[in-house]
Amino acid sequence: MAIAEWFTKGSNVVSLGALITSIAALTRTWSTSRTAKKNLRIVMRQEERRAIEPQVQLLQSKRKVDSDSERYSYLIHVGNPADSGNYVARAEMVIDYRSRDGVPATVKIPAERVRNEDVEYLGNEPNLEIPVNVSAREAVEGWVHFKFTKSLMSEQHVDRFLVLMEMGNGATVSVESIIPTEI
């Protein structure tokens, strides 16, 4: 009988040990799960901050008409509120218009590079040389220029001017043109 009593007591000890081990494993699993959920929330917030679209503002616009061409110049502010850097890869002006026959059409004009002395009438702000880097939580500002021949838009009814900025991450940000000051 002494062996039977010992075996029974041993069984109880083993069962108690298994119960304690199970509770410890359950507690550890629960704690690990909570930590993983917190980490996932942090990672998701970081990804959201990285994916924030840049903010583009047109601060001023000027138009200069020459004998054979028109130049639209826009003072543009590009802000990057994201946690990661980005850059303006390309800029273009989109003109939506209707032909003499009333047919809607669109023309896209890429930004041009000009020397400061060619546009000295714009003031002290520098040209925005595209492509241009926009660091995380920073902003850049400068003039962007678009030039086209006068014959392109002669006798056309313009519906709107739109400035598109294509970012390095592939996002396209657009802003409708404000009425330009004639120079």
Instruction: For the chain, give percent helix, strand, coil, nearest 5.
Output: 35, 45, 25
- List, for residues 29-88, the tens digit of each pLDDT value: 998 989 988 988 888 887 776 666 788 898 888 888 888 888 889 999 999 888 788 889
Q: What is the CATH number of the domain that holds 129?
A: 2.60.40.10
The answer to whether the predicted template modeling score (pTM) of the entire model surpasses 0.75 is no
Q: How far apart are CA 183 and CA 71, in angstroms?
A: 10
Quote the number of domains for the chain: 2
Asked if residue 6 and residue 75 are part of one domain, the reply reads no
Range(s) of the domain holding residue 28: 1-50
Asked if residue 83 and residue 17 are part of one domain, the reply reads no
What pLDDT is stored for residue 75 in this prediction? 92
Asked if residue 86 and residue 6 are part of one domain, the reply reads no
Residue 54 burial class via C-beta count within 10 angstroms: exposed 0-12, middle 13-18, buried 19 and up:
buried
